[in-house]
Amino acid sequence: RTKAAGRGKWTVFDASMRQAVQERLEVESALRTALAEDELHLLYQPIVDLESGRPRGAEALLRWEHPEKGPIGPNVFIPVAEESRLIIGIGAFVLRDAVRQLAAWRAAGVVGDDFWMSINVSPRQLTEPGFTAMVAETLRTHDVPARCVALEITESVMVEGGDISEGALRDLRALGVSISVDDFGTGFSSLGYLRRHPVTSVKIDRSFVSGLGGSASDEEIVRAVVAMSAALGLAVVAEGVETTEQRDVLGRLGVRLCQGWLWGRAVDARAFADTWGSREQAAVS
Ligand code: C2E
Ligand code: MG
Ligand code: MG
Ligand code: MG
């Protein structure tokens, strides 16, 4: 391998790096505009009771409707927001809008008194001073009980978050909101982390759910998560349930709460009320 070839490689690497940085900066700048110009909005996906098929809660999922590029998914822009401070403002918007929507549904009788809203929270938001105070303030403003809000965090919060995250989680629990560990099984947390942190539920990642019915090892993993959660007193939600076969295996393994395309995709607030609200009301009357 010659020196020249080595240098050539670096040139290529350098150019593609520069392009990646450039792209990131462009997304970041467009995202800043999006927040200011109302291009961000939330969709809601039901979290259902497996036996009744009725919604017990909903997860708020963020969407970006770019004026020229069209819809952009959170997997593209959330990482960019997280690397800048933009996630703070975006996260605040998400929290306020999701709680506002829950309050509206409660007031209109679309959902019952124990229906909850799950809201994704980035690690950077948790360690921001005043986050718990903002959550408390938002709940107060909209007169929503803390028990009707579940904050979804990732395993990395427990593994890398340190004392600040742990303290924030304790304050949030003291406030009364639930704490759910999202994408559970994909990170590097252990039983010890789960026991030490004040979490209330785990969401089994879609990657384990998708193999159910065909993969014996995925079934064993889900079985282990269910047993571990029972021992720790945690609720279990399965995410990404797409087939009746997956649903049936989950039911057999003792999972009661599911989320996935089998019941419905994330939809806007109006469609959610039309599709899921009426069933709630029908069940009440
Ligand atoms: P997540 O929190 O694990 O959300 C679940 C993702 O799986 C959502 O993707 C949802 O639309 C998708 N999904 C639900 N059911 C199914 C299914 O049956 N099959 C398949 N294949 N997918 C299903 P989405 O909306 O693209 O969100 C991706 C991720 O972006 C979320 O993963 C979450 O980590 C992040 N995210 C979304 N909204 C927010 C937000 O407001 N704040 C933050 N910090 N992150 C967010
Ligand atoms: Mg989530
Ligand atoms: Mg998830
Ligand atoms: Mg996931």
DSSP E strands, the chain: 40-49, 55-66, 70-72, 116-120, 149-154, 178-184, 201-204, 235-239, 257-259
Q: How confident is the model at residue 189 (pLDDT cuts 50, 70, 90)?
A: confident
Find tokens 């990404």 and name the residue: 240
Site of tokens 């718990």? 132
- pLDDT score of 9: 62
The reported pLDDT for the residue numbered 285 is: 39
Nearest atom in ligand 1 to the alpha carbon of residue 82 is 44
Which of 225, 244, 247, 245 has its CA nearest to residue 235?
A: 225
The best mutation among 39, 42, 61, 250 to test binding of ligand 1, ranked by most ligand atoms within 8 Å of the C-beta, falls on: 61
Whether the pLDDT of residue 161 is over 60: the answer is yes
Amino acid, res. 124: R
Question: What does the pLDDT read at residue 8?
Answer: 60
ipTM: 0.98
Mutation pick for ligand 1 pocket among 41, 120, 182 (CB with most ligand atoms within 8 Å): 120
Q: What is the predicted pLDDT for the residue at 261?
A: 98
Whole-number Å distance between alpha carbons of 277 and 209:
27
Q: Considering the entire predicted model, what is its pTM?
A: 0.93
Closest residue CA from atom 42 of ligand 1: 120
Q: Give the confidence band of 203 by pLDDT, cuts at 50, 70, 90.
A: very high
Cβ atoms of 188 and 224 closer than 8 Å: no
Cα 280 to ligand 4 centroid, rounded to whole Å: 26
pLDDT for the residue 206: 97
The atom number, within ligand 1, closest to the CA of 205 reads 3
Listed range (67-76, 195-204, 218-227, 275-284) with the worst mean pLDDT: 275-284
Q: Per residue in 130-149, pLDDT tens?
A: 999 999 999 999 999 999 99
- CA-CA distances (angstroms) from residue 282 to 131, 196, 264, 275? 37, 41, 19, 12
Phi, psi of 119 (to 5 degrees): -130, 125
**Residues 182, 180: Cα–Cα separation, whole Å:** 6
Q: What is the arithmetic mean of pLDDT over 9-19?
A: 76
